[in-house]
């Protein structure tokens, strides 16, 4: 599964398109972003189908970054049905992104 590039114009549709969405809020100048991208790519490879996984550059998309109150990059926000479920700043806190996504999927499956 690929990691989509999200922008201010596509953000709303992206988080609403599937039951679960994950967005990595990033900045090109941040040295640890490559590590975070690798974690998100691995999570995307593990999770097929029911999840939208994307990345949004906060400097190129200030409207969404401001609306979501992104103060730290990287920050990953997990969504269910277009609503924020969890906002997780920092690299270390996101090392288990695949497990978080799987948990969200299992909770989503049990609601249907």
pTM here is 0.88
The answer to whether residue 48 scores a pLDDT higher than 80 is no
Tens digits of residue pLDDT in 65-106: 999 999 999 999 999 999 999 999 988 767 788 888 888 878
> Which of the residue ranges 19-33, 46-60, 72-86 would you say has the lowest mean pLDDT?
46-60
Q: Which CATH number fits domain 4-111: 1.10.3720.10, 3.40.30.10, 3.30.710.10, 3.10.310.30?
A: 3.40.30.10
What is the pLDDT, as a whole number, of residue 111? Answer: 57
Where does residue 24 rank: exposed (0-12), middle (13-18), buried (19+ CB within 10 A)? Answer: buried
Average pLDDT, the chain: 89
Can you read off the two tokens belonging to residue 13? 């549709």
For the residues of 38-100, what is the DSSP string, one character each? HHHHHHHHHS-SSEEEEEEETTT-HHHHHHTT--SSSEEEEEETTEEEEEEESSGGGTTHHHH
């Amino acid at each position: 599964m690929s990691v989509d590039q999200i922008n201010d114009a596509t953000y709303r549709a992206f988080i609403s398109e599937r039951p679960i969405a994950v967005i990595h809020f990033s900045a090109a100048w941040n040295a640890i972003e490559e590590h975070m991208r690798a974690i998100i790519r691995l999570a995307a490879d593990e999770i097929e189908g029911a999840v939208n996984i994307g990345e949004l550059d906060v400097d190129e998309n200030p409207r969404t970054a401001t609306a979501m109150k992104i103060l730290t990059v990287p920050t990953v926000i997990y969504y269910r049905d277009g609503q924020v479920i969890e906002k997780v700043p920092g690299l270390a806190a996101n090392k288990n992104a695949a497990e978080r996504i799987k948990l969200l999927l299992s909770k989503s499956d049990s609601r249907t």
